[in-house]
């Protein structure tokens, strides 16, 4: 949760330099995705074990969409390469932690006897 919180602060710091057009299109979408991820992580932390894996999969999907949007911001020259690398590193770190969490939960699930 802390890494996503820090990612939002980092992105917010860069977003204030976006042009008006970029701030209210991709910039807003990225901010909303980060906030959605933060909210879903909180929900996953408090969810019962049966719901937790589904929430984590939703987080993973949103994180992948965020990766694409950040790459798009670089490709349309809103972000320079240095900024892109900094933000993508944070996103990748979150992805690694999320992947570990998902792996841990899937190992705990009972095997079907079919």
Contacts with 113 (C-beta within 8 Å, 6 or more apart), sequence order: none
Answer yes or no: are the C-beta atoms of 69 and 33 closer than 8 Å: yes
CATH number of 2-106: 1.20.1440.60
For residue range 65-78, what is the model confidence (pLDDT) as tens digits? 999 999 999 999 99
For residue range 11-50, what is the model confidence (pLDDT) as tens digits? 999 998 899 988 889 999 999 999 999 999 999 999 998 8
For residue range 88-111, what is the model confidence (pLDDT) as tens digits? 999 999 999 999 999 998 886 555
Domain boundaries of the chain, sorted by first residue = 2-106
Residue 31 CB coordination number (10 Å): 15
**Which tokens is 59 given?**
């987080």
């Amino acid at each position: 949760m802390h890494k996503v919180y820090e990612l939002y602060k980092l992105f917010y710091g860069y977003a204030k330099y976006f042009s008006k057009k970029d701030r209210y299109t991709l910039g807003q979408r990225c901010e909303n995705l980060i906030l959605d991820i933060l909210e879903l992580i909180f929900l996953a932390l408090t969810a019962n074990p049966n719901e937790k894996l589904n929430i984590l999969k939703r987080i993973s999907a949103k994180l992948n969409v965020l990766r694409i949007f950040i790459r798009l911001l670089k490709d349309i020259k809103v972000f320079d390469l240095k900024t892109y690398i900094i933000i993508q590193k944070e996103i990748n770190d979150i992805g690694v932690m999320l992947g570990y969490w998902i792996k841990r939960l899937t190992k705990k699930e009972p095997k079907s006897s079919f």
